[in-house]
Amino acid sequence: MGGRQSVVGPGNPRQAPGTVPVAWSPVALIVQKFGGTSVGDPERIREVADHVARTVRHGDRVVLVVSAMGKETDELLRLAADVSSTHPGRELDMLITAGERKAMALVCMALHDAGVPADSFTGSQAGFLTDTTHGNAKILEVRPERVRTTVDAGRVAVVGGSQGVSTENDVTFLGRGGSDTTAVALAHALGADVCELYTDVTGVFTTDPRLVPTARRMPAVSFDELLEMTASGCPKPAMRSVEYARTHGVRLHVRSAFTWQEGTWVDEEEPNMEQAIVSAVTHDASEAKMTIAGVPDRPGVAGTLFRALADHDVNVDLIVQNVSAQGVTDISFTVPRDDIERTLEETRKLVAEVGAVGVDADPDIARVSIVGAGMRTNPGVAATMFETLADHGVNIQMISTSAIRVSCVVAESQVEEAVAALHDAFDLADA
Ligand code: ADP
Ligand code: ASP
Ligand code: MG
């Protein structure tokens, strides 16, 4: 087992000149979040307790945020489906948040065993006030007084992730992956020095290490780049937590729960002077492509369609409209696969209303994206991407760009090859 590494090493590139490194200040306040895998069984829970105990012995103060154990959230959802076809949001949230509640109590017990005084808190007790949107509640305010008092008394506060209490006094769930957001929001409310997000890989990688074995851990990444990465398929950290961290300037350290190795630092500035043109390749196979053919080309049609979809809570992404020929055009867009039925229902109504030809859904697509702040100032990046895909016989169905991202929709069966080829073409592999 390696020795304790400082929170911010003396040579850490993220350290702004002239500031006192966190590890050298007498006491740092650290929020540590452990995901489901990290607290998946009793053995792992004891390891987390050991990790926290070392941090405390090093002199730092710790607030812990935990997710539900392993796949417990999925299991609770399945249980709900087995019991009934009616899932009122209030009851579903009460059920799901029990997963985190169980984990936080067990982690506390393991901490006591490791000689670390600790108290667990539900989201409500920790001061998370949310709106009333069950299943996907938004944080309105964090009042962390109890957590602060606990920490000031030299105890570790263990907070259940992804939960709060609504303005109507009901228990709310912040949504899937919401524990990352709990950790970031708590770090901000407490003025913590850093928010550490522990996962099953050693940081944020240049691409999904499960697909490409030569993927490299990124020592640092900017909020802007990480936000584009999470929006285009990188599962870690949850996108909402990155948005929260960027808005409030919370420094993140994404790292492994199983080693003491430095992970990936996430901060405002671009990581270094010699900015890589492309920093990462991401992919997302969770969406479907919808195409409406023969849409009359006149004002108001797109507005009507996308308003109807928005009113039905369909999250539309990547919209492409063709140049019109003979007064008609095609409109393609992507939606989450789970929303195909709802989308078809709404678009069919529109097709009938405006006299379009028809609508088609293709679930077998995936999106591959390149992300990099250096793209802003370097021409030819998109061209290299398209050439690389062509060299591998990958046909591009749709293209979309932002200032620091280029995305292509391709056949799902070719996405893994596309990711590997682009990772290679932009020299991202481990040397
Ligand atoms: P957790 O269980 O900690 O919430 P997830 O299983 O949701 O974490 O996400 C972690 C996984 O995301 C990693 O095991 C890794 O394989 C995958 N992953 C995909 N793309 C990346 C990337 N660019 N960097 C790091 N991990 C990635
Ligand atoms: N346990 C919840 C989920 O699986 C919340 C979280 O882990 O962030 O989504
Ligand atoms: Mg997860």
Ligand lying nearest the CA atom of residue 37:
1
Phi, psi angles (nearest 5°) of residue 290: -110, 135
Output the CA 240–ligand 3 centroid distance in Å: 14
Kindly tell me if the per-residue pLDDT of 423 is higher than 70: yes
Helices (DSSP H) in 214-363: which residue ranges? 223-231, 239-248, 301-311, 340-354
Pairing of strands 264-267, 220-222: parallel
Residue 430: its pLDDT value, please? 76
For residue 330, what are the CA distances in angstroms to 290, 296, 325?
A: 10, 9, 10
The minimum-distance atom of ligand 1 relative to the CA of 36 is 2
The minimum-distance atom of ligand 2 relative to the CA of 68 is 1
Answering whether pTM is above 0.75, one says: yes
Output the CA 35–ligand 2 centroid distance in Å: 8
Nearest CA to ligand 2 atom 9: 176
Kindly tell me if the per-residue pLDDT of 405 is higher than 90: yes
Output the CA 235–ligand 1 centroid distance in Å: 5
Output the CA 178–ligand 2 centroid distance in Å: 6
Output the CA 279–ligand 2 centroid distance in Å: 28
C-alpha–C-alpha distance, residues 418 and 225, integer Å: 20
126 in a structural domain: yes
Residue 2: its pLDDT value, please? 36
Tokens 């729960």 — which residue? 257
- State which H helix or E strand residue 147 sits in: helix 145-152
132 in a structural domain: yes
Buried b (16+ CB within 10 A) or exposed e, 201-223: bbbbbbbbeebbeebbbbbbbbb
- State which H helix or E strand residue 425 sits in: helix 415-425
Q: Which residues line ligand 1 (CB under 6 A)?
A: 35-37, 199-201, 204-205, 207-210, 234-236, 280
C-alpha–C-alpha distance, residues 242 and 106, integer Å: 28
Instruction: Encode pLDDT of 310-352 as tens digits.
Output: 998 888 989 998 888 888 999 999 999 999 999 999 999 989 9
Output the CA 36–ligand 3 centroid distance in Å: 6
Q: Which residues line ligand 2 (CB under 6 A)?
A: 35-36, 67-68, 73, 99, 161-162, 176-179
For residue 244, what are the CA distances in angstroms to 138, 174, 183, 189, 309?
A: 11, 13, 10, 12, 26
Output the CA 35–ligand 3 centroid distance in Å: 6
Ligand 1, pocket-test mutation among 48, 199, 242, most atoms within 8 A of CB = 199
Nearest CA to ligand 1 atom 4: 35
Q: What is the 3-state secondary structure (H, E, C) of 8-74?
A: CCCCCCCCCCCCCCHHHCCCCEEEEEECCHHHCCHHHHHHHHHHHHHHHHCCCEEEEEECCCCCHHH
Kindly tell me if the per-residue pLDDT of 106 is higher than 90: yes
Task: Report the number of distinct structural domains present in the chain.
Answer: 1
The minimum-distance atom of ligand 2 relative to the CA of 179 is 8
Ligand lying nearest the CA atom of residue 218:
1
232 in a structural domain: no
CATH number at 166 reads: 3.40.1160.10
The minimum-distance atom of ligand 2 relative to the CA of 162 is 5
89 in a structural domain: yes
Nearest CA to ligand 1 atom 16: 210
Beta-bridged to residue 121, according to DSSP, are 159
The minimum-distance atom of ligand 1 relative to the CA of 208 is 20
Instruction: Encode pLDDT of 5-54 as tens digits.
Output: 334 333 333 333 334 444 444 579 999 999 999 999 999 999 999 999 99
C-alpha–C-alpha distance, residues 184 and 206, integer Å: 23
**How many Å is the maximal CA-CA distance in the chain?**
77
336 in a structural domain: no
Ligand 2, pocket-test mutation among 71, 104, 174, 179, most atoms within 8 A of CB = 179
Evaluate the omega torsion of the peptide bond into residue 237 and state whether it is cis, within 30 degrees of 0.
Answer: yes
**Domain with 155 in it:** 29-200
119 in a structural domain: yes
Residue 258: its pLDDT value, please? 82
185 in a structural domain: yes
C-alpha–C-alpha distance, residues 220 and 15, integer Å: 11
177 in a structural domain: yes
Instruction: Encode pLDDT of 360-380 as tens digits.
Output: 999 999 999 999 998 888 889
